[in-house]
């Protein structure tokens, strides 16, 4: 099965909107949303069946038994992450959001008051009928985002049958979720916009993808908002030998479709016609 990953160096470039349109135009039956901090592909690709949900556990975190703690403060002094809090009575407790699970506090506690606590950091969801859709939600303030993305991809691959192509909606930026998304991908499609931050972040995400030796391609969304920067992006793509799949013009019909949770594949407008051409060029690369 070939795997296409849609990425953007920054948020708000239209990555998910384009992903949903490609899924519908290509009649893709296997897809995933790996933007686990703010998944929203399901708003357009609405699942028909109830999801199979599973809790996702990250690294264990420390917890201090107040009945055993005598307030010596050794855990407080030893913690490098400032996750130990001294209470008014002198006893200590662990800030769950700050704890990194190193358990130095457990090693230095003379009262054996520190134990490990199971740490659920998110929930995976798999929708399966004639299509397979894998996604997840990371709990606010939780870490292990890269591991959760890997779990989302694993759930997708384990539930497909004879699908020949899968599309994955990635996270913005270049952090752990993006790095986890890039492994095992046959083509990364970069969605950018003609702004200074769009070009700057495009350079970063291309560099990140190429460190994995992942083939990259480019889509310029809202390409007519700034012709000068759009030309700079095209020039950069030529210098880096990045295939440009096409330009999508700014189109007010896109916002109307998003507000109605409608895929661009189901309406006729300049943006949807541009994506129709883009999907043919993309398939030639894959």
d(CA 206, CA 242): 9
DSSP letters for 37-104 = TS--GGGTS--SS--EEEEEE-S-EEEE-TTT-----HHHHH-TT--EEE-TTS-EEE-TTT--S--H
The 10s digit of each residue's pLDDT in 82-135 is: 999 999 999 999 998 899 899 999 999 999 999 999 989 899 999 998 899 999
Estimate the crossing angle of helix 270-285 against helix 15-25, to 10 degrees.
Answer: 70
CATH of 2-43+126-285, one of 3.40.50.10360, 3.30.950.10, 3.40.50.300, 3.40.462.40: 3.40.50.300
pLDDT value at position 146? 87
pLDDT, tens digit, for every residue of 212-225? 999 999 999 999 99
> What CATH architecture is 61-117?
2-Layer Sandwich (3.30)
Given a cut of 90, whether residue 10 has pLDDT beyond it is no
| 52's tokens | 């199979």
pLDDT for the residue numbered 286: 86
Structure tokens at 51: 């999801």
pLDDT, greater one: 156 or 286: 156
- What Cα–Cα distance (Å) separates residue 248 from each residue in 106, 160, 229, 259, 285? 56, 31, 14, 19, 19
* 38-52, 100-114, 190-204, 249-263: least confident range: 38-52
For residues 193 and 222, the answer to whether their CB atoms sit within 8 Å is yes
pLDDT beyond 90 at 165: yes
**Domain residue ranges in the chain:** 2-43+126-285, 61-117
The pLDDT assigned to 167 comes to: 97
Q: CB 61: neighbour CB atoms within 10 A? A: 21
In this structure, are strands 120-128 and 132-138 parallel, antiparallel, or unpaired?
A: antiparallel
124-to-28, 33, 206 alpha-carbon distances in Å: 21, 11, 28
- In DSSP terms, which residues pair with 92 in a beta bridge? 86
- What is the reported pTM? 0.87
Q: Would you say how long the chain is, in residues?
A: 286
Provide the 3-class DSSP secondary structure of residue 86. strand
Spatial distance between the Cα atoms of 129 and 45, rounded to a whole number of angstroms = 13
9 pLDDT above the threshold of 90:
no
39 phi and psi angles, rounded to 5 deg: -70, 135
**Whether residue 139 has pLDDT greater than 90:** no
DSSP structure class, residue 182? H
Answer for the pair 52, 128: CB distance below 8 angstroms, yes or no. yes
> How far is 63 from 94, CA to CA, in rounded Å?
6
């Amino acid at each position: 099965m070939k795997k296409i990953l849609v990425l953007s160096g920054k948020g708000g470039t239209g990555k998910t909107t384009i992903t949903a349109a490609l899924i519908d135009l290509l009649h893709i039956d296997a897809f995933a949303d790996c933007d686990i901090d703010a998944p929203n592909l399901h708003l357009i690709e609405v699942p028909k069946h109830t999801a199979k949900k599973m809790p996702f556990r990250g690294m264990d975190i420390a917890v201090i038994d107040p009945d055993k703690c005598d307030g010596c403060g050794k855990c407080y002094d030893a913690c490098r992450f400032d996750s130990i809090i001294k209470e008014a009575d002198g006893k200590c407790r662990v800030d769950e959001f700050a704890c990194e699970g190193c358990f130095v506090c457990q090693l230095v506690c003379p009262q054996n008051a520190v134990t490990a606590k199971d740490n659920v950091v998110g929930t995976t969801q798999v929708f399966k009928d004639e299509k397979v859709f894998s996604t997840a939600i990371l709990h606010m303030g939780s870490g292990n985002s890269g591991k959760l993305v890997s779990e989302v991809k694993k759930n997708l691959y384990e539930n497909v049958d004879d699908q020949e192509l899968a599309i994955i909606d990635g996270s913005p930026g270049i952090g752990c979720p993006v790095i986890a998304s890039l492994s095992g991908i046959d083509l990364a499609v970069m969605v950018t916009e003609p702004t200074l931050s769009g070009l700057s972040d495009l350079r970063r995400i291309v560099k990140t993808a190429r460190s994995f030796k992942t083939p990259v391609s480019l889509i310029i969304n809202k390409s007519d908002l700034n012709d000068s920067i759009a030309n700079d992006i095209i020039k950069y793509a030529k210098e880096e030998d990045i295939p440009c799949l096409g330009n999508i013009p700014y189109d007010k019909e896109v916002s109307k479709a998003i507000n109605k949770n409608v895929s661009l594949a189901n309406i006729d407008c300049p943006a949807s016609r541009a994506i129709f051409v883009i999907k043919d060029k993309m398939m030639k690369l894959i």
